[in-house]
Amino acid sequence: MKTLKDYVRTIPDFPEPGIMFRDVTSILEDADGFKLAIDSLLKLLETVDCDVIAGAESRGFIFGAPLAYALGKPFVLIRKKGKLPCKTVSMEYELEYGSAEIEMHEDSIKPGQRVVLVDDLIATGGTIEASAKLVEKLGGEVVKIIFLMELAGLNGKERLKQYDVEAVITYEGK
């Protein structure tokens, strides 16, 4: 029986020398791999009481929406600035080179709602930290943050130490 790690294609020296790129598309392109990914993420939520699943653009949508469906919960989009049509709240955060900004509709999270955040990969943790702050700005409580993969060498979990964070697969390097 294959493990989820068996479905992950690793591309050495991409996007630059010394980086081992962990490609999520190889999971998505295999029906068994995608099913295993969703089932594995669902296992991380077995004991979690939540009201809403939220996913960060764009791969958080791919993995978060099926989780919301399976759990019978609403799914909330966290998007890059300027992509949502209604009134939004935003959060700027630092990238390795520069900054970025994400947004949510201001009515997407109600005060007191228990929220699970989903993304495909945790590297430095900047995007998901900003996502958590947005949820909290709207009065929600982040009860769990889950990822398909973690690059432990980039210490993203440390940045998110105030949250309950889990990944299905952990790679020790970058």
Q: How far, in Å, CA of 80 to CA of 75, rounded?
A: 16
Told to judge if 96 belongs to the known catalytic residues of this protein, a careful annotator would answer yes
Question: Please, what sign has the CA dihedral across residues 34, 128, 78, 107?
Answer: positive
Q: How far, in Å, CA of 9 to CA of 70, rounded?
A: 27
CA distances from 31 to 27, 36, 119 (A): 8, 9, 19
Long-range contacts of 24-28 (CB under 8 A, 24+ apart): 24/59, 24/120, 24/121, 24/148, 24/149, 27/148, 28/62
**Which one of 16, 46, 96, 172 is the catalytic residue?**
96
Non-local (6+) Cβ contacts of 132 within 8 A are: 117, 142, 145, 160, 163
Told to judge if 59 belongs to the known catalytic residues of this protein, a careful annotator would answer yes
**Which one of 59, 79, 150, 166 is the catalytic residue?**
59
Contact 128, 157 (CB under 8 A): no
Q: Is 76 helix (H, G, I), strand (E, B) or coil?
A: strand
Write out the catalytic residue numbers.
Answer: 59, 96
